[in-house]
Amino acid sequence: MTRYFFNLRDEGLLLSDAEGEEANVGDLLVLARMNARDMLRTSGLSVRKWMGMSYEITCAAGETVLAMPFSEALDTDLL
């Protein structure tokens, strides 16, 4: 497994993930959706605020391997 970093993009601001997570590249989209849904459920911020955010997942070399808008993780039971 490789360590990937789930950086959070909020408009022009990038919040870096300093710890990262061990994962297989094929599992990144599923993990990103699960993590985003957990954040949507527990953050206290409105769903509308989160819809402008996205994950920019990078490898240890800093290369972006996946970008996923939180809107793709929307769980209809949150509405």
Section 51-72 average pLDDT: 91
What CA–CA distance (Å, rounded) separates 17 from 75?
23
What CA–CA distance (Å, rounded) separates 62 from 50?
24
Taking only the tens place, the pLDDT of each residue in 16-58 is 999 999 999 999 999 999 988 887 777 666 666 777 889 999 9
- Residue 78's pLDDT band, with cuts at 50, 70 and 90, is very low
User: Where along the chain do its domains lie?
Assistant: 2-74
First and final C-alpha spacing in the chain: 35
